[in-house]
Chain A
Amino acid sequence: MTDARFDELIHQSTRLSIVGLLAAADWADFAFLRDRLGLSDSALSKQLSTLEDAGYVAIERPLSDRRRRVRARLTERGLDAFRSHVAALREIVDAADSEPVVARQAT
């Protein structure tokens, strides 16, 4: 079972979008991320660098069709952090959802 652990670095909205997308993929091209998330090249680069520095994302530059491509993938550490973060978010939501029931039982 995944431990619930809130991650401030992942929680920032743009980074959460990037990590949320990468969590469902083995890897994604820089262009795919940029287009789907509606980010500029520089904004995406900046966020990927932050995630890479934290060890959450690995940047790869495979050579295909004689073109240098840039693609990103979540590392094991990044995936663990993401799953823990999602578990923490679910705990907050579940706790809020169960509050009225607890209140009714108490009266």
Chain B
Amino acid sequence: MEREISPLEARAALDTVDVGRRRVVDEIDLPQWYWWGLALGWIGLGYITDLKHPWLTAAATLVFGAVHSAVAPRVTTGRHRTPQLSVRAEVAGRHTARMVILAVVALAGVTVAAALAAGADGARHPVTMASVLVAVMIVLGGPRLLAVIRRRASA
């Protein structure tokens, strides 16, 4: 025999379901080491560029790109912040990785613009200076970007 469920009880049950989903959504994030690794790599690449050895800069850029390409596909989905949980793909959303990659491309543009501005101002190490600025943006802004993505996933 089926039990009668009141609308109040049904609503409370749906709230419980929603709380469970939000507990998982709260875990959508990138591991801290990704932001720090990206920031340090950025500064390293900037420093090498300032050494003005084109072949060294090209090699470092290739290494940076290769390492990022190897790490990003798994990490930038935001589904594996902790080894204790894997967030379902449809919950994390398809756009997390795309937004992170777009942010990295935009930061490359910011680095070039800041380096040109610092160079025009007579700085001795313009690319390093620009890279440090962008590294700070990565460490501080990266988690904020993921917070926005989490808010979207909660909605």
A residues whose Cβ falls under 8 Å from a Cβ of B: 6, 8, 11, 13, 16-29, 31-32, 36, 64, 86, 89-90, 92-93, 95-97
B1-31, CB < 8 A from A: 2-3, 5-7, 10-11, 13-14, 16-21, 23-25
CA of A32 to CA of B5, assembled, Å: 31
Is B122 in the interface zone, CB < 8 Å from A?
Answer: no
Q: What number of residue pairs across chains A and B have CB atoms under 8 A from each other?
A: 88
Question: Quick check: B21 and A24 within 8 Å, CB to CB?
Answer: yes
Number of interface residues, chain B, beta carbon within 8 A = 28
Given A8-B3, A20-B20, is A89 in contact with B88 using a C-beta cutoff of 8 Å?
no
Lowest 3 A-B CB distances belong to which pairs?
A: A20-B20, A96-B7, A24-B24
Given A27-B86, A32-B82, A92-B7, is A21 in contact with B14 using a C-beta cutoff of 8 Å?
no
B23 surroundings in chain A (CB, below 8 A): 21, 24, 36
Question: Quick check: B2 and A6 within 8 Å, CB to CB?
Answer: yes
B2 surroundings in chain A (CB, below 8 A): 6
Cβ of B5 to closest chain A Cβ, rounded Å: 6
Given A24-B24, A29-B84, is A13 in contact with B16 using a C-beta cutoff of 8 Å?
yes
B83 surroundings in chain A (CB, below 8 A): 29, 64
CB closest chain-B residue, reference A20: B20
Question: Quick check: B87 and A24 within 8 Å, CB to CB?
Answer: yes
CA of A86 to CA of B17, assembled, Å: 8
B103 surroundings in chain A (CB, below 8 A): none
B18 surroundings in chain A (CB, below 8 A): 20
